[in-house]
Structure 1
Amino acid sequence: MARPTRPPTHGRGRTAGVVGAAVGLAAAGTALGVGLTRIARRRVRAAELGAAGERAAALSAAQLREDDPLGTAGRAADRTALVQADDGVLLSVEEIGPRDAPMTVVFVHGYTLSMASWAFQRRSLAAELATANGHRPDARLVFYDQRGHGSSGRGAPERSTIEQLARDLDTVLRMRVPSGPVVLVGHSMGGMTIMGLAALRPELFGTRVVGVALLSTSSGQLAELTFGLPELLTRVRAAVFPVAAWTMRHRPAFAERTRVLAADLVSMVTRSLSFASSDVDPALGRYVDSMIAGTPVDVIAEFYPALAGMDEIGSLEPLRRVPTLVLTGDKDKMIPMEHSERIVERLPDARYVVVPDAGHLVLLEKSDEVTGALAAFLRRLAAGASAH
Structure 2
Amino acid sequence: MAASDTGSGDRFVTSDGTVLHVRDTGPADAPATVLFVHGWTQDNTCWDIAAAEMPDDVRVVRYDHRGHGGSAPARPGTRTLEQLADDLAEVIDGVVPTGPIVLVGHSMGGMTIMALAERHPTLVESRVAGLAFVATSSGNMHRISLGLKGALGRSVPRVEPVLRSLLERRKKGTLPGSPRLLSPAARWLVFGKKAKQEYVIETVRQSLGAHPASIGGFMDAIFAHDRRVALGALRDKPSVVLTGDRDRLCPVDHAKVIADELPDTDFVLFPGAGHMLMYERPVEVNARILSLLRRAVPTR
| Corresponding residue for residue 46 of structure 1 | none
Retained in 1: the 8 A contact 2:75–2:214? Answer: no
Distance in 1 (CA, whole Å) between partners of 2:199 and 2:232 is 36
Q: 1:338 aligns with which of 253, 258, 264?
A: 253
Secondary structure of the residue that 1:335 maps to in structure 2? coil
| Corresponding residue for residue 188 of structure 2 | 272
**TM-aligned CA distance change 1:239 to 1:176, over 3 Å:** closer
**TM-aligned CA distance change 1:361 to 1:244, over 3 Å:** closer
Distance in 2 (CA, whole Å) between partners of 1:185 and 1:162 is 16
**TM-aligned CA distance change 1:87 to 1:215, over 3 Å:** same
| Corresponding residue for residue 5 of structure 1 | none
1:216 and 2:107 correspond: no
1:265-316 Cα shifts (integer Å, max 9, x gaps) = 74322111221123x2222211111111111332232211110111011110
| Corresponding residue for residue 119 of structure 2 | 200
Alignment of 1:191-270 (within 5 A): 191-230=110-149, 232-234=151-153, 236-238=155-157, 242=161, 245=164, 248=167, 253-254=171-172, 257-260=173-176, 266-270=182-186
Retained in 1: the 8 A contact 2:146–2:159? Answer: no
Of residues 185-194 and 298-307 in structure 1, the stretch that sits farther from structure 2 once superposed is: 298-307
| Corresponding residue for residue 18 of structure 2 | 89
1:80 and 2:13 correspond: no
| Corresponding residue for residue 89 of structure 2 | 170
| Corresponding residue for residue 39 of structure 2 | 110
Retained in 2: the 8 A contact 1:316–1:346? Answer: yes
Deviation of residue 330 (structure 1)? 2.2
Distance in 2 (CA, whole Å) between partners of 1:239 and 1:330 is 18
**TM-aligned CA distance change 1:113 to 1:247, over 3 Å:** closer
1:129-153 Cα shifts (integer Å, max 9, x gaps) = 2xxxxxxx23100000011000001
1:347 and 2:234 correspond: no
Distance in 1 (CA, whole Å) between partners of 2:140 and 2:277 is 21
Q: 1:322 aligns with which of 232, 237, 244?
A: 237
Please report the TM-score for the alignment, with normalisation by the length of structure 1.
0.71
Secondary structure of the residue that 1:154 maps to in structure 2? coil
Secondary structure of the residue that 1:295 maps to in structure 2? coil
Distance in 2 (CA, whole Å) between partners of 1:190 and 1:104 is 17
Structure 1 gaps of 5+ residues are 1-75, 130-136
**TM-aligned CA distance change 1:365 to 1:77, over 3 Å:** farther
Deviation of residue 116 (structure 1)? 0.8
Deviation of residue 197 (structure 1)? 0.3
**TM-aligned CA distance change 1:110 to 1:253, over 3 Å:** closer
**TM-aligned CA distance change 1:236 to 1:300, over 3 Å:** farther
**TM-aligned CA distance change 1:315 to 1:368, over 3 Å:** same
| Corresponding residue for residue 277 of structure 2 | 362
Distance in 1 (CA, whole Å) between partners of 2:80 and 2:48 is 26
What is the aligned length?
Answer: 296
Deviation of residue 207 (structure 1)? 1.6
Deviation of residue 345 (structure 1)? 1.0
Retained in 1: the 8 A contact 2:179–2:201? Answer: no
1:26-84 Cα shifts (integer Å, max 9, x gaps) = xxxxxxxxxxxxxxxxxxxxxxxxxxxxxxxxxxxxxxxxxxxxxxxxxx757932111
Distance in 2 (CA, whole Å) between partners of 1:367 and 1:188 is 16
| Corresponding residue for residue 27 of structure 1 | none
When the two chains are superposed, the root-mean-square deviation of aligned CA atoms in Å is: 2.4
Retained in 1: the 8 A contact 2:100–2:297? Answer: no
Retained in 1: the 8 A contact 2:238–2:295? Answer: no
Distance in 1 (CA, whole Å) between partners of 2:144 and 2:232 is 24
| Corresponding residue for residue 380 of structure 1 | 295
**TM-aligned CA distance change 1:262 to 1:291, over 3 Å:** closer
Deviation of residue 329 (structure 1)? 1.5
Distance in 1 (CA, whole Å) between partners of 2:10 and 2:178 is 36
Higher relative contact order (CA 8 A, sep 6+): 1
Please report the TM-score for the alignment, with normalisation by the length of structure 2.
0.90
Secondary structure of the residue that 2:72 maps to in structure 1? coil
| Corresponding residue for residue 307 of structure 1 | 222
Retained in 2: the 8 A contact 1:195–1:315? Answer: yes
Alignment of 1:55-74 (within 5 A): none
Task: Specify the code of the residue in structure 1 equivalent to 2:59.
Answer: R
Distance in 2 (CA, whole Å) between partners of 1:82 and 1:162 is 21
Distance in 2 (CA, whole Å) between partners of 1:362 and 1:240 is 20
**TM-aligned CA distance change 1:148 to 1:83, over 3 Å:** same
